[in-house]
Amino acid sequence: MTVDKAIATITRIIDNTLEEYNQSPSSKDSNGLRIPHPLDIVDEDDKFFALDMALKNVALQTTPVSLIEGNGSTASELRRVSTNYYIRVPADPVAGQELDIDDGLAYAVIFKALVDLWEEYSDYGQQGDMIIATYDHAYSDYIKNLENGTVATGNEAYIRFSADGTNWHDSFAPGDIYISFKRIDTDAWTSAIRFVGQDGQDGAPGTPCSDTQFIALQDTPASYTGMAGKVVTVNTNEDGVEFSDAPSGSSGASTFVDLTDTPSSLTAGKMLQVNSDGTAIIEVDPPSGGGAPAKFGDNTFFDDSTTGTINLDAQTYNSFYLYPSGDLTISFEKFDDDGSQVSAYFGSVYTFAVVNGANYNIAFDSNETFYGDATIHAEEDTSLYPLTLIRAYYDGYSWVVIDRVVTVDYQP
């Protein structure tokens, strides 16, 4: 196996882990912000370092055939095998070169490297130990003869891969979940070994299985056979998923008028509006003259003399500048909008600028409901000219004050 392929395998497993983490609710804090994951900071240097450490680790645990050197060799010794042979130190992993260990142990090295990168990858460490144990068993007779000095060095170990344990090929391919070793002493292949995990059998819990197939997971259906057209749903025990019939489409509304709180038919030229009870959508005639958006620009009404009561025309103007010479009540001309008498256009914002130059009693008509502070400021010092600037939104029944600003040193 090449070093590049080993690094790519490690990267893929980490990427899959982070993708699952990002989709998990536990990855967000109470403010909805992503909680950092320990694997976020793993870079290429970390992967090469972990791979190098794992090479030494695996070489210490087993007897890689390709690393055996005879006494008298100039290679660096990692550990002694017998009086005649020792295990040399594996070469540091370098991009573009071969991983310096038997192919049969390459995945054990990868799995050990994953554990070094994140302790939660302990399952991969167990799989690595399983590969090492299987390797040692397959070559036990060969190693014994080697220690006795009856086997020459230079023999290589062989490994093959399979998706079903029957059809084999020399290099790993997506979907492969079985490996087999060729024994040097007998020149025969071992039986298929599921090296990426195994589902539980007879009710026993299983170890993690392949992440290349949906049906290979432990909490998913075991087969696609006969499931064409089915959809995936959570089972009744809420501990896994299963295939179920897709909704027939007969329930629920397929058009707007099929809904229970909308008109039963559509009329050309009508507008949609919430009814007076606030419980459904109804059709109404559009506002005459095209409504407020078509009429309003910067249409300002100015008055500097009216006292008593002034009726503002909110059909025509959206901005009012008042500079009364005495007490004033601000009212509105009522008009018919879709069958109801209103003071202004629904959904429009109006601006009121009122100068109170002599401590007059100025206020909006008590029949108008304001949410927020709509008080017109009065200043006892008649040398000052306080200006009250109010922006308010009309919702069809009442006014909502957006903002209110008072300037006492205004000079009209």
| pLDDT, tens only, 77-118 | 898 877 778 889 999 999 999 999 988 899 999 999 999 999
- Any residues with CB less than 8 A from the CB of 305 and at least 6 apart, and which? 324, 325
The answer to whether 152 touches 166, Cβ cutoff 8 Å, is no
Q: What is the mean pLDDT of residues 189-213?
A: 55
Domain ranges of the chain: 3-194, 256-286, 290-407
Total-model pTM: 0.41
The answer to whether 148 touches 177, Cβ cutoff 8 Å, is no
- In the prediction, which pLDDT does 151 show? 55
Is the per-residue pLDDT at 369 higher than 50?
Answer: yes
d(CA 54, CA 50): 6
d(CA 270, CA 267): 6
Measuring CA to CA, which residue among 219, 263, 264, 260 is closest to residue 237?
219
| pLDDT, tens only, 292-350 | 444 466 788 999 889 999 999 998 899 999 999 899 999 999 988 776 789 998 888 99
Measuring CA to CA, which residue among 135, 132, 127, 129 is closest to residue 198?
127
Could you give the angle at the alpha carbon of 290 between the alpha carbons of 286 and 296, nearest 5°? 135
Is the per-residue pLDDT at 242 higher than 70?
Answer: yes
d(CA 138, CA 184): 9
| pLDDT, tens only, 25-44 | 999 998 989 999 999 999 99
Neighbours of 197 (CB within 10 A): 19
| Pairing state between β 178-183 and 168-169 | unpaired
